[in-house]
Chain A
Amino acid sequence: MENVEAASPSKKQRMEHEAPVSPSKSQKTEHKATADESQKTHPKLKLYYFNIPGKGEPIRLACAYGGVELDDFRMHANEFHDLKVSGKLAFGQVPALSVNDDQMIFQSAAIMRYVGKLTGLYPTNDDLLAAKIDMIVDSENDMFTGLAVSRYRGRFGFGFLTEDHVATVRKSLNDEILPEHLRNVEKLLEESTSGWVAGTANPSIADFILVPRLLWLVEADTNHGISDSLLEGYPRICALIKQLLALPAVVAFYEKHAKLHLPAHLK
């Protein structure tokens, strides 16, 4: 019990940690004196990704939430091929974020930390809170490693896997491995008074990364062997998903872009 109390900061401490993630009102006033001025303080951002949610969606949603303009370039296969052969992709992969038409950054979590600092979704002056958010983002990577390997086998040296192998992996993921990860996330949410996964007063990049990923996990006909009702046993995870999807900026985003196809229990 002592360990749990130590790990779970008092409410007062949590508020102090939470404040920097969401810029203070005075900061907001200074930066957003006029709409034009606020755009000028932000670098020019262009996202290169496919026309799917995937790893790009958190970036799109974060910019929408933070009011940061994003050139959301959704590539066809031809365009991706050209980009790959151009040598501009440091790791041959997208998402890629171009900043001020000058530099490209890669790896969705790194992009999200950068975008998070521009949009109030990631602290710029609280290393401990940043670490807490990072650990959740890193754990998302762990949660989805097995699924990624079973899905993109060649990328990981597993091109030899047959459909039967993949089915075996998916059953293990569905029945044992993913539930354990989901229990961990559910517990983090139990410890959060705000319902946001890092215990922040407002959403952080951890929420924007987790929610689209979890929706993709259980999307019908997407990951064979994974039950589309897998999340039903985790009420706080379901509440997190609904809470993020109810954010006005997120609602507006989906009204403008492709419809979400939500399972019944998340509608």
Chain B
Amino acid sequence: TGKLAYDQVPLVEIDGLNLVQVQPTAGYLAQRYGLCPSDAAKAYEAKAIWASADDARGPMLSFPFHGDLEKTREDLAGPQALLGRYATRWQATLERSGGPYLLGAEPSMADVGVWEALDFYRDIFGHAAFAAAFAGFPKMLAHYEQVLSLGRLREWRDTGRAAVFLPDWAVYAEAVRATLYS
């Protein structure tokens, strides 16, 4: 259909546009829905934190394909990873901004990106392990709950996505392999 500019997904069809490439797509949606500050410096900060969540998420993206929980937990605990680096920096950002959001009083795409990284962890390891892993980052756990209260995010997490996502990681990985590699 020619909608995929670079033959890649994700694709978001919105406002007559076919948006590909995650970062600018997120930027467009954030602007559209009031999650991107109009001030350029603040917009930069929101996007930079979003991008850092992208880096933090790396080991979790490959988890479905190897299913190795211990390796994934190990990779996320490392000094350059989610727990060793990013959670510390994000918590410090929350302390500086005064919260409850990363940029301060108002939510932005930064909060969504960071929330998703934590939620991905929770999804893979379960709530008990998630709470234990982030016990050293109480502001991050509070932030997680704060963002969950936005819009329909709680409903999406608890029921909505189960209706549209594939039932488990192994099935998801097989579907990706079948689509992209066979």
Which residues on A are within 8 Å of B, measured CB to CB?
50-52, 54, 76-78, 80-81, 151-155, 159-160, 162-163, 219, 221-222, 258-259, 261
Contacts and interface: CB of A to CB of B under 8 A. Distances in A.
Contact of B174 (A159, A163, A258): A258
Contacts of A221: 62, 65-66
Interface of B: 62, 65-71, 74, 77-80, 124-129, 168-170, 174, 177
A119 B68 CA distance: 28
Nearest to A160: B79
B69 A77 contact: yes
A151 B74 contact: yes
A54 B170 CA distance: 14
B79 A162 contact: yes
Contacts, number: 57
Contact of A162 (B68, B77, B80, B125): B80
A50 B71 contact: no
A155 B74 CA distance: 9
Contacts of B129: 77, 81
Nearest to A159: B77
Contact of B66 (A52, A81, A155, A160): A52
A54 B68 contact: yes
Given A52-B68, A152-B70, A155-B70, 18 more contacts: A50-B67, A50-B69, A51-B67, A51-B168, A51-B169, A51-B170, A52-B67, A77-B125, A81-B125, A81-B128, A152-B74, A159-B74, A163-B80, A219-B66, A221-B66, A258-B174, A259-B174, A261-B177
Contacts of B74: 151-155, 159
